[in-house]
Amino acid sequence: MPVTDPRPLTGEPVSLDLLNTRWIHDGVHHDLLAGPEGLRIWLAGNGLDRRFSPDAETREHLLLTREALATAVESPGTATGTERVNAVLDHGRIRATLTVEGPGEETEFEDPSWGAAWTAARDYLDLLRTAPDRIRKCANEACILHFFDTSRNGTRRWHSMATCGNRAKASRHHAKTRET
């Protein structure tokens, strides 16, 4: 029986989903990648479980990539974030191919254990090409989750209106009622 993903936010692009393998619930820090079962859950949740092995090397490379992406997202345009993401990207490449259907691409890795990590770093580049201003951290100061804002007007502030959004509204309401 498959284990369900315990995280409060899933389904984000793979780069942000990797960042969201750390979260806080009721003041307790959680890390999905702390063990092998969490790694299996993450790989399966991102459709990577058939391509990449849930071994210790894959986990180690994903942890390195998570830190690189966190630096790049939290301090965009800095040399440190850029260098760390580029160090991950150095472990793979895209090779142009011709198939019977037409032009194609094939991803190659110097070491397959870098595959999932490289895929997440490459996804981050795709988000930067698409809409870098839509890569967001939840506006709740106590929340560490990230999301790609797909709202029509680009004004989404919380990873979830049901949790962080309602907490912010309740907090503002409580502050107003205390002032009066």
Residue given tokens 């939290």 in the structure block: 74
Asked if residues 20 and 9 have their Cβ atoms less than 8 Å apart, the reply is yes
pLDDT of residue 120: 98
- Residue 141, classified by CB atoms within 10 Å of its CB into exposed (0-12), middle (13-18) or buried (19+), is exposed
pLDDT beyond 50 at 69: yes
Tell me the pLDDT tens digit for each residue of 92-127: 999 999 999 999 999 999 899 999 999 999 999 999
Cα gap 148→170, rounded to integer Å: 25
pLDDT beyond 60 at 72: yes
pTM over 0.75: yes
Mean pLDDT confidence for 20-37: 96
Mean pLDDT confidence for 145-151: 95
| Mean pLDDT for the chain overall | 92
- Domains recognised in the chain with CATH numbers: 14-135 (1.10.3300.10)
pLDDT of residue 104: 96
pLDDT of residue 12: 97
